[in-house]
Amino acid sequence: MKASSNEGEINLGLGIDTGGTYTDAAILNMASGAVLTKAKSLTTRENLTIGIGKAISALDKSLFDRVRLLAVSSTLATNSVVEGKGCRVGLIVIGHEAVPNIPVDEIVQLRGGHNLEGVRKNELDLDGAREFVCSVKDKVDAFAISSYLSVRNPEHEIAVRELVKSLAPYPVVCGHELSSALGFHERTITAVLNARLIPIITDLIASIKNVRDRLGIKAPLMIVKGDGSLMDESVAKERPVETILSGPAASIIGAKALTSLDDAIIVDVGGTTTDIGILRGGLDAEGAMLGGWRTRVRAVDIFTSGIGGDSRVVVASGKIQISALRVMPLCIASSSFPSLRPKLQALIGSKGRWTPSYMDLDTVPQVTEFFTFSREANGHDLGEEQRRVLDLLKEEPMSLYELAEALNVHPLSLNLRKMEGLGIIQRIGLTPTDMLHAEGSYVEYDPEASKFGVQVQAEILGIPVTEFIDSVKTAAIEKITFEVLRKLVFEEVGEAKLDEVATSLMNNMVRGTGRRDFACHLALNKPIIGIGAPVGAYLPTVAKIFGTSLVLPENSEIGNAAGAISGNVMESIDLLIRPKKGLAEMENPPCTLYWMQEKRDFEHMDDAIAYAKAEGGRLVKEMALASGADSAEVIIDEKRKEAKLSGGWGGSILLEVVITVTGVGKPRLFFEG
């Protein structure tokens, strides 16, 4: 492998994005950004590489020998955290109490830790660490270590890490390696999640490499991080937590790559969710929020809403509503299960079934819904009735009413939500995607199944089919518009709950209906960039409501895949320098440097700053090259925090200096040597 190509040769990159519903693949000219071939396949959640393999196989194979880089963005890390998946982790907490309800299997709290000056609070209890590791090494698969204020002095985490490695052949993750920011609880969570994800990402990478090698693609594999940059597969195995939110990050990068715009609202309408971001290069300085936990993972500032092409359309109490619950669209299911279309057709002309008005949106049954077997219930305790349900669904998709008749029970007594939540069974139902198939504006699968489902529900409501379709599309458009507006409001005022007044005003703006005495109108100061296959059906009206222009780039349906291959390699660290107590008013005071490698004292501030820039630059360059950069440019940002002296004294004193050192480079490409 070498880092230069033959003069004039066009280098190609293969980008892949595994979303909640679809897996996209595209080969791009890495110099011009032009998309040369593209393909989609359904995401196979039980084994992501099946869908990835199908998407890659559908591309123009004659281009494979010129592919120099393979980059993947994936929902796997995000979904695994939210769903509580991952390996067994033993957590070693030093010098502080652990976070409550932390997702670990074994935990110990040891004496040790440091204060804000990096001075030891207590001596480290290495004997306790040794006893814990020896007692749990057959009960866990990885260890996470978090010591209080390790960002000011990592010596205790380093000492315990070396001890664990000498006692057990398992991955070991330290909090100071993942973040240099204060926040013990957040750093602990980040270390634990990283440890839990190591085998999951390792398996994914191995599977993708098998697909790559089978198809004869000779290119390095890189993974998209949550901030949109790329990292080599070897680094991803060590720091898999950084791949959280890589899909939305690829959306931001893809929108920029396909449009060359720097100032816009990005709306990525997927099958499962709609991701909303503001394109202006900002990162969430507080770290990504995931699964109810605040982490220290740097991520693009994305707002995700539970509205997508596969959101569940519910008819209940004479109204049409859209639920955040994801279901398999009728059109997609019918393409895989031939028995489904005749079942839907047989429902036409039948009377709607009574359902209790007190049921919540996700449990109210629908005559046009069916269930299908997804995966075995390994490790989950199911009752006799649920096991019989699985046996029936392995044969063919069945509705709630068909299952109830086969089992001789009342339909509402069947509890299928638990199995659905665990991914053991999959619900099939009417969705916004079916509306587009039924009207013919977007046809990818079986439109007849969609038409039958729409007709059945329209008959139940006593309205024309066209009115039913328009009502669902309007509901989806209003939901997307409201969520974009909510993102913009949160950007302006910060995260806050919407009260009744705010919600009323926002609905007034979105629906344009006004009130008797006043009306509210929206005016967006940026264009909207649409990403995703169905955006043409929804976003023109969204943009009209906002009074702005809509940019629908060519190849927007594979925008995330284009984003995956368009990122740079970027590694960044922070180094903190503080004057010694009582000496800050000096011109060049004695000081202490705190960073991930060490705590170090200096006689003069200038010497500390020079050392920080030199050593930080050396480290980020090494990190960028290890992450797959061909070469790395070092960028240094120096921020000084000062306090003004009280009246009469004039001037100010230096409180601290933060040196942020970043290594940036283009990803290393593959060439035959």
CA neighbor of 188 nearest in space, from 294, 288, 283, 87: 294
CATH of the domain at 129: 3.40.50
pLDDT tens per residue, range 155-197: 999 999 999 999 999 999 999 888 777 788 888 988 898 888 8
Q: How far apart, in whole angstroms, are the C-alpha atoms of residue 488 and residue 494?
A: 10
Question: Do 321 and 378 fall into the same domain?
Answer: yes
Q: Flag whether 5 is in a domain.
A: no
Distance of CA 278 to the CA centre of its chain: 16
Rounded alpha-carbon distances, angstroms, from residue 82 to 79, 142, 151, 244: 5, 19, 27, 10
Distance of CA 568 to the CA centre of its chain: 18
Q: Is residue 673 pLDDT above 50, yes or no?
A: no
- Helix 500-511 to helix 465-493 angle (10° resolution) is 130
Question: Do 477 and 609 fall into the same domain?
Answer: no
Residues 6 or more apart in contact with residue 153 via CB below 8 angstroms: 114, 118, 119, 120, 594, 599
Q: Is residue 404 pLDDT above 70, yes or no?
A: yes
Give the end of a domain, one of 559, 580, 605: 559
Residue with the bigger pLDDT between 299 and 243: it is 243
Q: Worst-scoring range by mean pLDDT, 73-77, 134-138, 260-264?
A: 73-77
Share of the chain above pLDDT 90, in %: 49
pLDDT at 418: 80
Question: Do 160 and 131 fall into the same domain?
Answer: yes
Please state, as a whole number, how many other Cβ atoms lie within 10 Å of the Cβ of residue 653.
15
Rounded alpha-carbon distances, angstroms, from residue 494 to 481, 500, 626: 19, 18, 37
Largest CA distance in the chain: 89
Q: Flag whether 219 is in a domain.
A: no
Residue 540 near residue 530 (C-beta atoms within 8 A)? no
- Greatest mean pLDDT among 246-255, 371-380, 644-653 lies in 246-255
Q: Flag whether 27 is in a domain.
A: no
Q: Is residue 8 pLDDT above 70, yes or no?
A: no
Q: Worst-scoring range by mean pLDDT, 327-336, 555-564, 611-620?
A: 555-564
CA neighbor of 526 nearest in space, from 174, 238, 256, 278: 278
Question: Do 345 and 389 fall into the same domain?
Answer: yes
Q: Is residue 362 pLDDT above 50, yes or no?
A: yes
pLDDT tens per residue, range 563-575: 899 889 999 999 9
Q: Is residue 292 pLDDT above 70, yes or no?
A: no
Question: Do 524 and 644 fall into the same domain?
Answer: no
pLDDT at 7: 40
pLDDT at 38: 95
Q: How far apart, in whole angstroms, are the C-alpha atoms of residue 407 and residue 386?
A: 10
**Can you give the pTM of this predicted structure?**
0.79
Give the end of a domain, one of 403, 434, 463: 463
Strand partners, 109: 93
Residues 6 or more apart in contact with residue 299 via CB below 8 angstroms: 226, 227, 244, 245, 248, 249, 283, 284, 287, 288
Q: Which domain holds residue 625?
A: 569-665
Give the end of a domain, one of 528, 559, 590: 559
Handedness of CA 502, 507, 508, 509 (dihedral sign): positive
pLDDT at 21: 80
Question: Do 457 and 410 fall into the same domain?
Answer: yes
pLDDT at 283: 45
Please state, as a whole number, how many other Cβ atoms lie within 10 Å of the Cβ of residue 380.
12
Q: Worst-scoring range by mean pLDDT, 10-14, 496-500, 564-568?
A: 496-500
Q: Sorting pLDDT into bands at 50, 70 and 90, what band is 4?
A: very low
pLDDT tens per residue, range 300-317: 777 878 888 889 999 988
CA neighbor of 633 nearest in space, from 572, 549, 563, 544: 572
Q: Is residue 590 pLDDT above 50, yes or no?
A: yes
What amino acid is encoded at 4 in this protein? S
- Greatest mean pLDDT among 4-18, 305-319, 487-501 lies in 305-319
Residue with the bigger pLDDT between 435 and 293: it is 435
Share of the chain above pLDDT 70, in %: 92
Question: Do 476 and 458 fall into the same domain?
Answer: no
Question: Do 457 and 319 fall into the same domain?
Answer: yes
Question: Do 431 and 457 fall into the same domain?
Answer: yes
Q: Worst-scoring range by mean pLDDT, 34-38, 95-99, 183-187, 510-514?
A: 510-514
415: alpha, beta or left? (left if phi > 0; alpha if psi -120 to 50): beta
pLDDT at 577: 95
Q: How far apart, in whole angstroms, are the C-alpha atoms of residue 187 and residue 586?
A: 34
Question: Do 368 and 454 fall into the same domain?
Answer: yes
Q: Flag whether 186 is in a domain.
A: yes
Q: Flag whether 63 is in a domain.
A: no
pLDDT tens per residue, range 215-248: 999 999 999 988 888 999 998 888 888 887 788 8
Q: Is residue 259 pLDDT above 50, yes or no?
A: yes
Strand partners, 18: 23, 74
How many CA within 13 A on the CB side of residue 653? Answer: 14
Question: Do 582 and 637 fall into the same domain?
Answer: yes
- Across the chain, mean pLDDT equals 87
> Average pLDDT for residues 46-73, to the nearest whole number?
91
Q: Sorting pLDDT into bands at 50, 70 and 90, what band is 650?
A: low
Pairing of strands 652-665, 633-644: antiparallel
pLDDT at 5: 41
The terminus-to-terminus CA distance of the chain in angstroms comes to 6
Q: Is residue 622 pLDDT above 50, yes or no?
A: yes
pLDDT at 103: 84
Question: Do 442 and 476 fall into the same domain?
Answer: no
Q: How many domains are there within the chain?
A: 4
pLDDT at 607: 96
DSSP string for residues in 513-531: ---SS-------SS-EEEE
Q: Flag whether 134 is in a domain.
A: yes
Q: Is residue 16 pLDDT above 70, yes or no?
A: yes
Q: Is residue 648 pLDDT above 60, yes or no?
A: no
DSSP string for residues in 346-358: HHTTPPPPP--TT
Q: How far apart, in whole angstroms, are the C-alpha atoms of residue 303 and residue 245?
A: 11
Residue 397 near residue 371 (C-beta atoms within 8 A)? yes
Is residue 260 exposed (0-12), middle (13-18) or buried (19+ Cβ within 10 Å)? exposed
pLDDT at 597: 87
Q: Is residue 133 pLDDT above 80, yes or no?
A: yes
CA neighbor of 362 nearest in space, from 432, 434, 311, 424: 311
144 φ/ψ angles, rounded to the nearest 5 degrees: -120, 140
pLDDT at 293: 59
Please state, as a whole number, how many other Cβ atoms lie within 10 Å of the Cβ of residue 32.
9
> Average pLDDT for residues 63-85, to the nearest whole number?
82
Q: Flag whether 241 is in a domain.
A: no
pLDDT at 74: 83
> Average pLDDT for residues 369-374, to the nearest whole number?
93
What six digits make up the tokens of 189?
């969570």
Q: How far apart, in whole angstroms, are the C-alpha atoms of residue 631 and residue 616?
A: 16
Q: Flag whether 328 is in a domain.
A: yes
pLDDT tens per residue, range 18-27: 887 889 999 9
